[in-house]
Structure 1
Amino acid sequence: MNDKGLINFRDIGGLKVPAGVLQTGYFFRSGAIAGITQEQSAFLRDECRIGDVYDFRSTDEVRQAPDTQVSGTTYYHIDILSDKTSNGASLGSMITSGNKVHENMLKTYESIVLSKSAQKGYHDFMMGLLEDNAPILFHCFAGKDRTGFAAAVILRIAGANDQQIMDDYLLTNKLRVQANQDILNRFKDEMNQQQLDNLHVALMVDSDYLKHANDILLERFGTFDHYLKNGLQLPRDYVAQFRNKFVVE
């Protein structure tokens, strides 16, 4: 499928899992879709047949660059890190944080697992999936952290293994090469080399981040199933419902 140049865009379906194959053409992830072209909008509407768009960005991010409305879609804004806006998750704070970008990103992933806003946000998102009867697009700003974790949860629920989940997660670094370069070029006259280096790191994903999120999840909840039940407050039979709907033989 030609993605028409949408940033960090992909279908996470098609993976072989123990119970079958995760449905293709249903779960699309990307970076923000603010300012996309008419051709890109038509692609999401006509070829992907997107029904619902889930935007995980902060209220400020949405205000500064609202999503382009794709006709026929329902838009949901879920601010995943609303109660952690000062935790170093913003690009601005990372750029000015010396050499602590990696450390800040680990803290961001702790918030993605443990903060109340993230738990409620992912609860609403995951419950929405059971009600959706058309393909969905979910995204944040870069489509890498808040979105990357959401994709990992979906894949884990479907039955994907650690390697399959990490492969999808790290694909972001390949798919964001041009977008990241464009951002670096935009700031190259305003920043010193250290700041540019920090920005470059902040725009990438690292296997450490997702592994750290998983470690925090297991430390706090014991198992992934307990995270779903006690962290995200999903019904006991959520995994069975999800697989029944989205995993095909």
Structure 2
Amino acid sequence: MSDTPSELLRLASADNFRDVAGVGAGYPTTDGGRVRRGVCYRSNELQLHEADVAAIADLGIQVIHDLRSTLEIEAHPDVPVPGARWQQLDVSGIPTEMIEILPDTAAAERVMLDVYESFVRSEQARTSYAALLTCLATDDLPQLFHCTAGKDRTGWAAALLLEVAGVDRATILEDYLLTNEVSSITRTKYLALIEEHLGAEKMAVYEPTLVVKEAYLQMAYDAVAADHGSVAGYLRDGLGLSDDVLGRLRERLRG
């Protein structure tokens, strides 16, 4: 294991890599506890430089959960991390066919809202999130999960973990929105590609798909409330997680 504090670990080739627990002593919980550092990590896709592979390996990562589709993985496969077992848990992200025909920013935002609603209501998404949380509760630690940008599918997973740990909703939102700050280099890269291939006038149209917004996360919470009454109900009935699994996960997440 590395002696470098993980709050200082910024990866040049995966700029949205971070500890789910936050920095310092970890996010506070509503009952006076803290989220434990070094248990769960989140990231964008692992197109890693050699030095970043070594940095992740030094953290002792045991399992890497890839939330991307098979097509995404085939286009940009993860660089293997020594000592880590890799598994795919497909959660459908932003539909490529819808992205290609976006007429304006309102349409882009509608797509994003639909995507977050699907995290809660899609059977495939529920199956994958249930498998992720179960593995985080029962398999060897530490573990890492990621999607392409590390902001939407990964962002919802991180929000659920912080909910289980007992973090207040305002802090969860703050953590979710950090993506816009820490992944600005990646966002700039994609905007440049849009300008090059589609024209400068399309940059503003596509910008809502490259960021996270409070309204997106709220859409997932609204679907949870409508279908299950609460996050606890969603975890129990929507994801089918037992009290034992949730208890073990909470115990692991809390310092």
Equivalent residue number for residue 24 of structure 1: 37
Q: Residue 148 of structure 1: CA displacement?
A: 0.2
For residue 86 of structure 2, what is the aligned residue in structure 1?
A: 75
> TM-score of the superposition, structure 1-length normalised?
0.92
- 1:12 counterpart = 2:12: no
TM-superposed deviation, 1:236: 2.5
Q: Give unpaired runs (5+ residues) of structure 1.
A: none
Render the CA deviation track for 1:83-119: whole Å, top value 9, x for unaligned: xx7xxx1356325211200011000111111100010
Q: Does 1:37 align with 2:44?
A: no
1:206 aligns with 2:213: yes
1:90 to 73, 79, 95: 95
Structure 1 segments of 4 or more deviating over 6 A? none
Question: In 2, Cα distance between the equivalents of 1:197 and 1:101?
Answer: 10
Shift of 1:220: 0.6
Structure 2 residue runs without a partner (length 5+): 1-7
| Offset from partner CA, 1:124-156 (integer Å, 9 cap, x none) | 001101122221111100000000000000000
Higher alpha-carbon deviation: 15-24 or 111-120: 15-24
Please give the residue correspondences for 1:134-213 in structure 2 after superposition, counting only pairs within 5 Å.
Answer: 134-213=141-220
Task: Tell me the distance in 1 between the aligned counterparts of 2:181 and 2:95.
Answer: 22
Q: TM-score, normalised by structure 2?
A: 0.90
Query: Could you tell me whether the CA contact under 8 Å between 2:63 and 2:140 is conserved in 1?
Result: no
- Offset at residue 19 of structure 1 (A): 5.5
String of CA shifts for 1:17-55, please: whole Å, max 9, x gaps: 125111101211111002x11100000001x22111111
Amino acid at match of 2:76: A
Residue from 55, 68, 75 that aligns with 1:57: 68
- Identity over aligned residues, as a percent? 30
Show CA shifts across 1:62-98 (max 9, x none). Answer: 01110000011000101112xxx7xxx1356325211
Q: Is the 8 A contact 1:95 1:196 kept in 2?
A: no
- Partner residue in 2 for 1:234: 241
1:186 is displaced (CA, Å) by 2.4
For residues 160-180 of structure 1, give each alpha carbon's deviation from its aligned partner in whole angstroms, at most 9, with x where no partner exists: 111110011000001111111
**Counterparts in 2 of 1:89-108, with a 5 A limit?**
89-90=94-95, 93-99=98-104, 100-108=107-115
- SS of 1:49 mapped into structure 2: coil
Aligned residues: CA RMSD:
1.5
Contact conserved, 2:195 with 2:202, CA < 8 A, in 1?
Answer: no
Contact 1:57 1:80 (C-alpha < 8 Å) held by counterparts: yes
SS in structure 2 of the partner of residue 16 of structure 1:
coil
1:98–1:194 CA contact under 8 A, matched in 2: no
The residue aligned with 1:109 is 116
Paired letter, 2:101: T
Equivalent position amino acid for 1:223 in 2 = S
Inter-partner Cα distance in structure 2 for 1:226 and 1:11? 26
- Kindly tell me: are residues 194 and 206 of structure 1, through their superposed partners in 2, closer, same or farther at Cα, counting changes over 3 Å? same
